[in-house]
A and B are shown apart, each in its own frame.
Chain A
């Protein structure tokens, strides 16, 4: 089974609203990364958060990490139609292997 599991599987919101996606994982990690993927194309890296960090920001993105609960969340504020995509979390182990979840499909309606 996947190390990272995103929740919800699908999310539909109106432009301007905030979108929150969650990721849970099972084993210890070095880092956790969030990616965006548009329509079966390559993945775009959004944020990397290290295991000793609790929160990171990048523009309209905010990522939190709770290693005690083995969970992370991605918040996109003031969403735009262009944010419509699939979002994946990936956990990195000591060997540099990344394990992805099956993603959250976000639809932002104009």
Chain B
């Protein structure tokens, strides 16, 4: 157990809908990163938040957006869902430094029909 939780565990949506995924961080972890993992592939970096500010973004369109709250929990929002958005979404938290270990949550499995 890493102390990082994600909700919901599973989610089914239809094309065009919007979804919000949530992540709670370990105590003292002020940095959160979100990843998308398609079946059979490695996680792909979506973006990172540090102290409530976006701190780097991967190659994902603007319909992927995020928030980090004062308690360092985080949300990932995806608008206008597409079939290819079906994946496991992982969040990872760490203490501020980029040299620190990331601790991953169990993920949210999103299926877009």
Contacts and interface: CB of A to CB of B under 8 A. Distances in A.
Interface in B76-113: 88, 90, 92, 97-99, 101-107, 109
Interface in A65-110: 88, 90, 92-103
B43 A42 contact: no
A12 B35 CA distance: 28
Interface residues of B, number: 31
B56 interface: yes
Interface size class of A (residues with CB under 8 A): 20 to 34
Interface of B: 2, 4, 31, 33, 35, 39-45, 48, 50, 55-56, 58, 88, 90, 92, 97-99, 101-107, 109
9 contacts: A30-B99, A40-B39, A43-B43, A43-B104, A44-B104, A45-B103, A96-B31, A96-B56, A98-B92
